[in-house]
Amino acid sequence: MNSNKKRSLKHFVYVTLARRILIATVLLSLLVSLIVHNIASDNIYEHVLIMAHDRVETLRARTNEYLENGGTTLHQAVYQAIDALSSVHYNKSIGDFVFYQISTLNDGVLIDKYDSNYPYIDNVKQYVVDTASDHSLEDTTVLKEIVQLDDGSYVHLIMPLYDKTGSLIGNLRTMFLLTQSTVDTLQSRAYMAVFYALLIVMLTTAILYPVIINLTRKLANFSIDLLDSNIETLKVLGSAIAKRDSDTNAHNYRVTIIATRLAEKVNLPDRQIESLIKGAFLHDVGKIGIPDKILLKPGKLSESEFAVMKTHVEKGLEIISRSAWLANGKDVVGGHHEKYDGSGYPEGLESGKIPMNARIFAISDVFDALISKRPYKEAFSFEETMQILLEKSGTHFDPQLVSQFEAIAPELYQELHGKNDEALRKILNTIIQKYFSTGIDTLSYG
């Protein structure tokens, strides 16, 4: 239908809001699970670091002990210390070292030890070879990462080594195989974090969503009350103008209905029809500022009097500009006396330069003026009225709009002819309910 149809507030509250809450729930759950997983990983890193540090310190103490006894080289002392260290038992519930390497700045790789009993040690060896150049001996940062190989999960650790004086002497590189129970614990903590995050958000949503709905309904009611007041003000002001001009409410009702029907025929967007309705009601609001001797003069106006009369357009624009809600009726208020050939006023606009709403209203206004009885004339027949509109097509009126209006004019005439104010008011109220909000079902946002 209309390309810029308004978005429903009810749809936003019940669908869009729920969808956004769901997305927020998923994102929050992922964030919490990531945080918990990182905390669990950090705990494992810390445990492996402590174990590696203890082993290095023990290894260094044993090596110094063998060197002090004499009769052995550094390499021999290190390997004797490794053999002695292998007999020391420690908690392997988290995992075990399957590879460790000690390198020094002076001697290069001092120890390159693999667990030959581990069935998948070749995978570890290949990974060690592939990443050998990623960390230099002079680097003092600690590398710690969980590596996933085909056979399992490892903590890959590289830490700097210092002598008793605090000087960097090399580094320790290890591959620590995590037990399956440790991996399962990491996963279960992440899953539980997601579950609890979902549960918390869902409970919070269950508490807050009804509150949001209730507040939205109250806001909708306030909006409706304000809108009703604005519409009532529009009607009252339109009625005051009609009385001021020795006219009736029926004229304002009819031209608004006719203009709306033509706008619907040419598929005008809903919001533009809203502004058309406001402009139709208030098209002559500026006549409030015209002196009675000119406005109510029964005969033809003089040239100077007509010049004053034409100022009602500027006066009307000035009046509605003071209201943000009425201001979008300016196209009709400011352009309803423009003519398609440029001979109208106040700007002398022509063809497409005249706002669409003003072109639609011009046809509606003249059609109603011709078919209606006035103090100074009898009503024209439908046929006579249409003949006049067709004759002025291309001069006074947009010819394409006249063509569209010709298709709906007979039905419009039957709908409106002979109707009193009350009957016209009912038709108009139906239009207002369609294009203006009457509840949360019809309120829009954006």
pTM: 0.55
- Could you give the domains of the chain? 7-188 (3.30.450), 245-445 (1.10.3210.10)
With b for 16 or more beta-carbon neighbours within 10 A and e for fewer, the 3-30 pattern comes to eeebebbbebbeeeeeeebeeebeebbe
* Residue-level pLDDT, tens digit, the chain, 446 residues: 344 445 565 666 667 777 777 787 778 777 877 787 677 667 776 776 677 667 667 766 777 787 677 767 767 777 787 777 666 666 678 788 899 888 888 888 888 889 888 999 999 999 999 998 888 888 888 888 888 898 888 988 888 888 778 888 888 888 988 888 887 887 777 677 777 777 877 787 778 777 777 777 776 666 666 666 777 777 777 777 776 665 557 888 899 999 999 999 999 998 899 999 999 988 888 888 888 888 888 778 899 999 999 999 999 999 888 888 888 899 999 999 999 999 999 999 999 899 999 999 999 999 998 998 776 678 899 999 999 999 999 999 999 999 999 999 999 999 998 888 889 888 988 888 888 755 555 555 55
Apex CA 255: angle with CA 250 and CA 257, to 5°?
A: 95
d(CA 446, CA 433): 19
Instruction: Write phi, then psi, for 87 (nearest 5 degrees).
Output: -85, -10
Cβ(446)–Cβ(7) below 8 Å: yes
